[in-house]
Structure 1
């Protein structure tokens, strides 16, 4: 188990629901990855990269709702700027994306 945090620490993390609207290969990445464009409703559109190529095909990701942390600082990955962090469960070396059980409004908060 990781280090214990206070509830106030958790409340600082802004986790939102978004829909993947575009998926592109990311050949410059050191580890195989996709570049994702995600619609977060009123929060706007953000881009990120995700190392999920072994479990997901590009066409399976389009229009898929996911969970992401949207209040991290932007991070430069090669020539690409990541604006959020998609959440997934690590199962060995593969990642399974976390998503709502039923469709919800883009930008919905996770609490």
Structure 2
């Protein structure tokens, strides 16, 4: 059984079309692989950003806690300084009173002085 020239030509054309289609599918496969690679790279970038975001959030929380502790310590120091100032003022007043009493005692003792 012999194949006609027309059938051979038709087979040849169809064979070329199948080859072209295979090339297109290979190109599509390559593009899909590149898209997958880019998607994976994007995923890794997002994971890195999320990791750094978590680290940054943790650092901010730590800074906030330290700031709160510093604020409490500053308030405590301010209260201590105010108390010290009040105590110093009281001591100054008591010293003045003691000085006045010493002067009174000195004056009283001079009345009993013998010449």
For the criterion TM > 0.5, the same-fold answer is no
Task: Flag the structure with higher helix content.
Answer: 2
TM-score for both structures, normalised by structure 1 = 0.13
Task: Flag the structure with higher strand content.
Answer: 1
Q: Which has the higher contact order (CA 8 A, sep 6+)?
A: 1
TM-score for both structures, normalised by structure 2 = 0.13
Q: Who wins on radius of gyration, i.e. which is larger?
A: 2
